[in-house]
Amino acid sequence: MKVIVAGTAGFCKGVKDALEITLEAIEEREDGEKICTYGPLIHNRQVLDMLESRGIREENQLENCAGKKVVIRAHGIPPSERQKLREIGAMLLDATCKRVARVHAVIKHHARRGYHTVIVGDADHAEVIGLMGYTGGKGVVINRLEQVDELPREWNRVLLVAQTTQNEEIFAQIRDAFERRYPQGVVKKTICDSTHERQAEVRRLCSKVDAMVVVGGYHSGNTVRLAEVARECGIPTYHVETEADLAAHEMARYATVGVSAGASTPNWIIQDVVHFLESIRPEARDQSLRLKQAMEYLVYGNVLAALGAALLTAAAEAFTGLPVSLKDSLIAALYVFAMHTLNIYLDHNAIELNNPGRAEFYHRRKGIFTWTSILAVVGLLWFSLSKNVLTFFAMVLMVALGSLYAVPIPSRLKRLQPVKIKDIPTSKTLLIPLAWAAVTVFVPLLPYLFEAFGRLIYTFWIVFLMVVIRTALMDFLAVQGDRMVGKETLVVLVGETTAARYVAGVLVVLGFFLIAGPLLAKSSHFTYLALPVTAAYGWFLSLCVQKQFKEASMFESMVESVLIGMGMVALLWNALT
């Protein structure tokens, strides 16, 4: 089955901000401090379950929030409830969506001037309940065109607003009738831009597919609207919370299916649905889907990562002009394969959230990967010993350090919990590149440490920068799950926008050193042939910023192909020089 995923599917900015506020509260929580959300933070049961597993309870009664740190839900709450929370000693963390807060301000401003407020939305929705709290008792909620004629004609000051996730076409119809009934009335377009873009994209998708699947909570207003929009386009539409709500035999009737998702739906649930749909009728898969499946095996199996590491040793030879043996390439490849596979099992929580398909891939082949990892370690140590004792001891140290990356290290202080190296902020972004640079540059060229120290350090630095960028690009894919499990990569720590600026800065630094290497006599002119790496990574970074990727395996394979391509050019350079 062919699946087309909407580019706008997944978390909107308001939801992301609400989750970040909540997760930051978790990280900064003091001993004994209780944190809760007043009502569900967002309308997604799976995310709420994850928050509860981290100690964030949902409270729906004001009295249960007394003395706690209380996160105000993304939908907002009425001002009267906010005041009561303060009176019972709650410390408030406001996660109200900024777009919703602006609607609060609009209603409040007009209510003070004596306006009646007409809200187009669902009366029992949390956002609308919050909006009504700002109307000064002069608010009414409608959601059907005929209800406009039921409004009192004598109102001379009337404001019309919409729930931010309202169906645009319904609002447009009600707005036209409102303006005819109240020529002097004020209309404010308060439907969120994100909602507009999602609905518009669903309409476009419906003309290209046989059926639509809309993923999101059944109580999520914006998700319900997306499903309504798809049905209005006249094609079969399925509103589901997870892939478990879909029937394979029913979906098998369609050749092409579109997938969109509400603003509260995390990427890992969207990916679950996509993987499920793509697994239907495998005999009908086209060439592009077969290619995608092959890429998944190469990426999930860490084959591309291992190949990239092996070819980086050829690049190290091309940069320095110093000989690197086939054994060195095999050692680097086996080390990267073994360490990546080992730490996948030790860090399975984040993978299950970020890429369920990948998690399932490893779960089914756990025995195979366990034994191949053990054999890879034995093989790299054997090759190291057959080379020389110094290389052997260097690799024993590298294996020991790599194995400790995700293993809890007991603390001597009883009051402190065991720590993991992977939990140290930005450790992944920095330590993985250090390990790669060590096994692809330092270990192979260890005999030349004193003879060519400058060239060795230069090449180590270049490879380190390249792998920093590679790792950071992967982190953009995993940001949602990493946040949920408290994993502080660079992207999680500073945010996606700031992280993108940092990565762009590293790209500039990499380009500078690639140009400067031959001029400073620290490398061969091969560095000029490596300059396209910066352009390729720059393009991938722009895709991350624009959220122009939905298929993790394809994006990862593209990122890995950069180092592989440079390594192949290095092999040709080494053969000709």
- Map residue 388 onto helix, strand or coil: coil
b/e per residue 104-138 (b: at least 16 CB within 10 A)? bebbbebbeeebbbbbbbbeebbbbbbbbbbbbeb
Element (H, E) at 36: strand 35-38
Spatial separation of the C-alpha atoms in residues 19 and 47, rounded to whole Å: 9
Q: Which of 284, 316, 334 is nearest to 445 (CA)?
A: 316
Identity at 224, one-letter amino acid code = V
Place of tokens 């007991």: 410
Query: What tokens does 208 get?
Result: 């290209």
* C-alpha angle 455-458-462 in degrees, rounded to nearest 5: 135
Residues with Cβ within 8 Å of 22's Cβ and at least 6 positions away in sequence, in order, are: 35, 37, 41, 51, 56, 71, 93, 95
CB 223, CB 265: distance < 8 Å: yes
Active site residues: 127
DSSP single-letter state for residue 512: H
- Residue 219's alpha-carbon distances to 40, 127, 153, 192, 205, in angstroms, are 11, 12, 34, 18, 23
CB 78, CB 134: distance < 8 Å: yes
CB 446, CB 383: distance < 8 Å: no
DSSP track, 193-246: HHHHHHHHHHHHHHTT-SEEEEES-TT-HHHHHHHHHHHHTTS-EEEESSGGGS
Spatial separation of the C-alpha atoms in residues 337 and 307, rounded to whole Å: 9
The count of other CB atoms within 10 Å of the CB of residue 141 is 20
Ramachandran assignment for 114, one of left (phi > 0), alpha (psi -120 to 50 degrees), beta (any other): left
The pairs formed by 500-504 with CB atoms below 8 angstroms and a separation of 24 or more are: 500/541, 500/544, 500/545, 502/472, 503/469, 503/472, 503/473, 503/541, 504/538, 504/541
Residues with Cβ within 8 Å of 150's Cβ and at least 6 positions away in sequence, in order, are: none
- Map residue 564 onto helix, strand or coil: helix
What phi and psi, each to the nearest 5 degrees, are found at residue 94?
Answer: -85, 110
303-320 helix and 453-477 helix, angle to the nearest 10 degrees: 150
Identity at 487, one-letter amino acid code = K
